[in-house]
Structure formats: structure tokens, C-alpha cells
Amino acid sequence: MEERNRFRNTLIPGILAVLTGLSVASCAPDRDTLVLAGDIQNNIHPVTATVQGQLVRMEKGMGETVEKGEVLAVVDDTDARHAAGQMEAIVKMRQARLGELLAGARPEQLAQAQAQVRAAQAQVELLRAGNRQEQIAQAETGEAIALEGVDAAQANLEFLERQRDDLLYLYEEGVGTRVEADNASHRLDAAASQLAVAQHQLENSRQQLQLLRSGSTAQAIKAAVANVDMAKSQLALLESGPTPQALEMARAELEQAKAQLAQAESWLTRHTILAPESGTVVSRNHTVGDMVNPGACIADIAAAGEVYVLCHLPVEHLERVVYNQELKVLAGPQGRELSGRVVHIGLQSAYVPKDQQSVAESGRTAVKLKVAIDDQQGTWKSGMQALVEIPLSH
């Protein structure tokens, strides 16, 4: 208060003498200018948390400068990182699944199916030609091929069973989808059917071998023909590749996983609190170890270069100012002349605070007026005093 009174007792009279005897919030004798006394203030930007958690880092202290986008604080992101990692794994799994469908059957799968068709056809020909030693040898070869088919189908079934279990686990953990788990179960069922077919072919091969060893019969030839038809059907299924519906579902599942990954990564980034503007940290409201909630103010930043003079304009002169109007400002103890711009006109009137009244202002109502001034060099500090001149002649 003493400093403010000293300002009014020294700066104001001096400036008013220059301005031909003006008084604060009063008019000159020629009534051409209204002079308002006010305080210089900074625009303060609160820095708030957007997630709940424990503060694990505070990068800036009070009085330190900070650049826009610089890290100010970090909230514990362990769970968020884990969730993002799980979603990344799901995206890779679905990309691999779509790649398998687009690639179609592997060459070794096609070769195996083709070999089974040839073996089945050869078996029929041998049976129809009669039982010779070479027929029995070929039947033994067919049995061996059928046994390999069973082994391959069994291995594929076990792989898909493990994949199904992994997807069920991810679904139970909340990072997978029921649709993906169900699809895995369907693929497992299909693999079980393929194993059953391979086992049936093996059984037929063994029966045919037994029949050859004991002599061909019409029943043996009929069974061999059925085995050929089954082998051809399996080959055609592999050659035709996935259905359009299966591809569409695989693509949709991949896009869904990518969207969930983007959401998880966005949530992860929200644990890092960045400076919204360049400036100086003027308050720290939390320390490392504190629990914060969304919306909690972590710190306040006085924006660099964003300062204004806050004064009170008597309501009878309200029509004299408009937004973006250029006004002359006399700032600091020396009354340095600056150019200001009206950036805020209060919507409600009130009595002028007593510590900002002149004798002429006592009992008068006014609105808040903010006049922005350029301060890229950081010359003007919050709390310094200034005068604002408002022309009355226009």
C-alpha cells in the first residue's frame, strides 16, 4: 500500500503535469483526455492434469522459464504403457493373420494335398489292376503319406489351440475382443475337422493295404475311390483360398485393433504434462509423490510477452472505448510511453476498489478494462503500475 501511495504521490503528479494538469480517472480542463491508473499483470496459464495417478516427476521449479510443449511433470504411466504394449501385440497378431489369408495356402500344404490325391488315385488303379507286389508297396507308401498328413494336421491343431488360449487370455484381461477369441475357436474347430479327415484317410489307407495283402475286392476299390474324392476336396479347398467374408472380417479386426492401439497410445501421452505456453513458472501446487485427479492444477505459468494494464473505467465513459482500440500507456516510475490495445471490457459494473480510487472516483461505479502492451523483452512485471489515457474528443 505504501508503495502504491508513493507511486500516486510521485509518478502520477509528474505525469499529470506533463499532461496539463490531469488527475487520475478525471478529465483535463479541456476535457479531451481521461487518465486511468492501473496495475500491470501477466496472463496466467494453469497447467492441469488430465489423468488420475501419482506424480513421479516435476521438471520445473518456481521462477524457472519453460518453452511451449516442454515437459513440466509426469504422472505414473506404468499401467498405460502395459495396455499400449498389449494392444501393439494384438495389432501384430491380426496383421499376421490377414497376411496368412492373403497369401493363401503355403506351398508345402499344397504339395502335401496334391501328394495325397496322387497316392489315392494310384491306390485305386492298383486295386483295379489286381494285387501285385508293387501294388502292396505303393499302398504302403500311401499309408506313410497319410500318416504324415495326420502328423501335420495334429501339429496345426496344437498351434491353433495355443493361439486360441492366448486370445482368450487377452480377452479376459480386457485388451482383446470376444469376436477374435470366437474366430480363434472357429479356426481350431476347422483344424480339428482337418485332423479327423486326415485320420480317416489314414484308416482308409491301412484298410486298403490290408485288403491288398488279402486280395482285392469290390469293397476295397469303392473305399479307395471315396478316398480319392476326399483328397481332391481337400486340395480344392486349399487352392481356392479364403472367402471374401473371411478377408473382410480379418481386415475389420485389424482396423479395430489399430484404433484401440491409437486410443491406448493417446491415453499414454496424457500422462506427460506439457507447458501450454512459453513463460515463467510462478507457482507449483503439487510435489512428486502427490496423487492428482483430472483437472488438478499442477502449476501456473506467466506467459512470456503477454502483459496488460488492469484499470477501472467509470461507466459514464464506457462508450469511449471499443475492443482493439489503440491507447497510450505510461508505464513504470519514469512514465515510459507505450502503445496499448483494449482486449477486455468488463460486462458488469462495480464500485472501484478503495486502493485504486482517486478522490474523484470515490463512490463511482466502473467496469474492468484490460489494455494489452507489448513485452517481448520481459521489461514489465506483474504489480508494476501504469496510466492509461483515453481520448474523449471523438
Specify if 290 maps to a domain: no
Specify if 365 maps to a domain: yes
Specify if 129 maps to a domain: yes
pTM for the model stands at: 0.53
pLDDT digits 0-9 by tens, 21-37: 333 455 544 468 899 98
Task: Determine the pLDDT at residue 9.
Answer: 46
Specify if 34 maps to a domain: yes
Q: Give yes or no: residues 145 and 24 share one domain.
A: no
Specify if 293 maps to a domain: no
Q: Give yes or no: residues 121 and 235 share one domain.
A: yes
Specify if 175 maps to a domain: yes
Per-block mean pLDDT, blocks of 10 residues, the chain (394 long): 44 39 44 86 91 94 91 94 92 85 71 81 73 72 86 88 84 77 80 84 81 67 80 75 80 92 94 92 93 94 87 90 93 86 86 54 77 83 89 76
Specify if 257 maps to a domain: no
Q: Give yes or no: residues 234 and 161 share one domain.
A: yes
Domain that holds residue 127: 105-240
Task: Determine the pLDDT at residue 24.
Answer: 44
Q: Give yes or no: residues 40 and 158 share one domain.
A: no
Q: Give yes or no: residues 31 and 114 share one domain.
A: no
Q: Give yes or no: residues 110 and 236 share one domain.
A: yes
CATH number of the domain that residue 380 is part of = 2.40.30.170
Q: Give yes or no: residues 126 and 230 share one domain.
A: yes
Specify if 269 maps to a domain: no
| Residue 167 to residue 190: CA distance in whole angstroms | 17
Q: Give yes or no: residues 37 and 112 share one domain.
A: no
Domain endpoint, select from 240, 258, 292:
240
Total number of domains in the chain: 2
pLDDT digits 0-9 by tens, 37-54: 899 988 889 999 999 999
Q: Give yes or no: residues 203 and 134 share one domain.
A: yes
Task: Determine the pLDDT at residue 383.
Answer: 84
Task: Determine the pLDDT at residue 394.
Answer: 58
Q: Give yes or no: residues 309 and 226 share one domain.
A: no
Q: Give yes or no: residues 42 and 109 share one domain.
A: no
Q: Give yes or no: residues 116 and 192 share one domain.
A: yes
